[in-house]
Amino acid sequence: MKYDTIIIGAGMAGLTCALKLSAAGKKVLVLEKQPVPGGFATGFKRKGFFFESALHCVDALGKGQKVRDFLVETGVAGGLEFIELRDLARIIYPQHDFVAEASRESLLDYFKHSFPQEKNNIDRIFAEFDAFYKHFDRFDDSRLPEWLKLCLTLFLYPRIIKMSCLTCEQVIVKHTHDKKLQAMVSSIWGFMGLPPQRLSAFYFLIIFRAYHYYPNVYVRGGFSRMFEAMANKIRENGSEVMFNTVAKEIVTDGRRCFKAVVTDKAGRIEARSAVSGADCFSTLTGLLDDEAVKEDYRKKMSAFEKSVSAFQVYLGLKVPAKALGMGRFMCFINSSYDHSASFEASLRGDYLNGIISAVDHAQLDPELVPFGKGELLIFTLDNYANWKSLSEQEYKDKKAQVARILIKRVEKYLPGLTDNIEVMETATPMTMARYGSSSEGAIYGLAQTVPQASINRLSQKTKIKGLFLAGAWTRPGGGVHGCFVSGSDAAGLVSKYLK
Ligand SMILES: Cc1cc2nc3c(=O)[nH]c(=O)nc-3n(C[C@H](O)[C@H](O)[C@H](O)COP(=O)(O)OP(=O)(O)OC[C@H]3O[C@@H](n4cnc5c(N)ncnc54)[C@H](O)[C@@H]3O)c2cc1C
């Protein structure tokens, strides 16, 4: 057989898995329906302006951190320049406006300074977070076999279990009843697409540390360079990456064992194993050829909750965004302290009240835009249901209207923004569904609710021997770092299976 593993999808998870396996001497074939690698996290050019399709910034890519170390070890990092960001973002609330630096101490100081009466409670919140990180790191660093680690978690790392059973809000309200402080501690919720009231404390805490304690990173020239370098290295390792090629069917042998993948361009390709980095719904209830297994999955997955979708405006500007007042590369704008209300507003298409963020990548890398110009990416959470039934004309009109609302909201902080727009593109939940190949345009896979996060999350093993999952839909979850972990773990499962 020519291939050890076929990997469906050249997103972060698929590429990580392929890179790890190919570096270990396995013969891998990556199938990607788009003409470029990166999946959701790719980029595009319009009239000389380069835009990130999705990404704001990425964690765990700083010097000495896990994703960066992997890229160094696999020989991918050499041609890339990583820009480390000292600040996470400017964060705006009705009565607070602050810059969250990428530093635990400065965040702690800011909260204590703004809520002096809550000093002890703030210390308690951070102590609880740090106690979890201790257990999480010990679990992560442990060399015990995975099954043994999991069995011992309750005794050796009980805080992992504790945080897997709670929401983010439940952890914070134990220590403070101040609604504003509660909201500000959980400002990063938008990166996980669920408000603190519903968000798993486990995933929240992982993302909280990743974004608030350490510098995040931008890759000079755009994140696409990183994905291209990964795809090139997979080829250098003797494996293959086929773009513009769609996996149409996953073939089993009738005894629940993986056999082959049928593609639109290259026909049926056999391999010893496969990893799907595509949406878990399309993999397990669509691509699989075994009707009985598909039916089992249909029943199980009908109860699954997908993550939220998003609406984005990409603006090419006549001047740098900094000249209009964009003092930091990223800004979160909250119209209230009630994140639940803000989330509900996004779900029902109330674009005046959902959380928005604005990102200026050209502030980090001016060569992304023509000389002397600028750009801005405006992001808000959205709902597929707000878009799916519109006629072509209604869809077009709504896109323009929503873009105008969001631009106006940002213009309050960047006066003159409208007059300086040279290029504009928009992406709706329909775009996320179409280009991201994601059910209902879900941007972070399955929602990170308590029943769908941490140890409860969809397993990477499937009911089909030799078929594994990787990516945002499965463990541990969405985000480039999460998908790196998932791709890396999938490679481990494949290696074990191939033995
Ligand atoms: C708007 C937005 C903003 C975001 N911001 C951030 C951020 O700032 N930082 C961060 O870390 N993360 C962010 N994320 C999340 C992050 O982009 C994703 O979690 C991550 O990129 C998902 O990677 P993945 O490998 O799971 O899948 P994907 O990127 O979805 O890749 C799956 C790939 O599989 C391919 N595919 C699917 N079906 C088939 C098939 N049948 N045959 C062949 N190929 C197929 C698709 O074309 C795609 O390329 C954001 C996401 C969105 C949408």
3-26 pLDDT, tens digit each: 999 999 999 999 999 999 999 999
- Candidates 288, 307, 437: which one to mutate for ligand 1, based on the most atoms within 8 Å of Cβ? 437
> Which are the contacts of 360, defined by CB distance < 8 A and separation ≥ 6?
320, 321, 322, 326, 329, 330, 374, 375, 376, 377
Kindly report, residue by residue over 396-407, the tens digit of the pLDDT. Answer: 999 999 999 999
Q: Note the CATH number of domain 307-435.
A: 3.90.660
Cβ 309 vs Cβ 381: under 8 Å: yes
Q: Which helix (H) or strand (E) holds 311?
A: strand 309-317
CA distance 473 to 167: 19
Whether the CB of 437 sits within 6 Å of ligand 1:
yes
- Distance (Å) from CA 14 to ligand 1 centroid: 10
Whether the CB of 219 sits within 6 Å of ligand 1:
no
CA distance 400 to 349: 14
The confidence score (pLDDT) of residue 147 equals 82
Strands 309-317, 49-52: pairing kind: unpaired
Question: Which residue's CA is minimally distant from atom 12 of ligand 1?
Answer: 479
* Tokens matching residue 444: 């972070």
pTM over 0.85: yes
- Across 158-266, the runs of DSSP E, i.e. the strands, are 216-219, 240-242, 247-252, 258-263
- Candidates 12, 19, 40, 68: which one to mutate for ligand 1, based on the most atoms within 8 Å of Cβ? 40
**pLDDT lower than 70: segments of the chain:** none
The confidence score (pLDDT) of residue 143 equals 86
Farthest-apart Cα atoms in the chain, separation: 68
* Number of alpha carbons in the 13 Å side-chain half-sphere of residue 94: 9
Q: Which helix (H) or strand (E) holds 492?
A: helix 480-498
Q: Where are the alpha helices (DSSP H) in 74-221?
A: 104-114, 119-141, 146-156, 158-164, 168-173, 179-185, 201-212
Q: Where in the chain is the domain with CATH 3.90.660?
A: 307-435
Average per-residue pLDDT for the chain: 97
Whether the CB of 196 sits within 6 Å of ligand 1:
no
Whether the CB of 10 sits within 6 Å of ligand 1:
yes
Ligand 1 atom, smallest distance to 481 CA: 11
CA distance 283 to 287: 5
The confidence score (pLDDT) of residue 234 equals 98
The confidence score (pLDDT) of residue 148 equals 87
Is the CATH number of domain 3-46+54-83+220-304+458-498 3.50.50.60?
yes
Q: Where in the chain is the domain with CATH 3.50.50.60?
A: 3-46+54-83+220-304+458-498
Strand, helix or coil at 94?
A: coil
Cα 32 to chain center, whole Å?
19
- Distance (Å) from CA 301 to ligand 1 centroid: 20
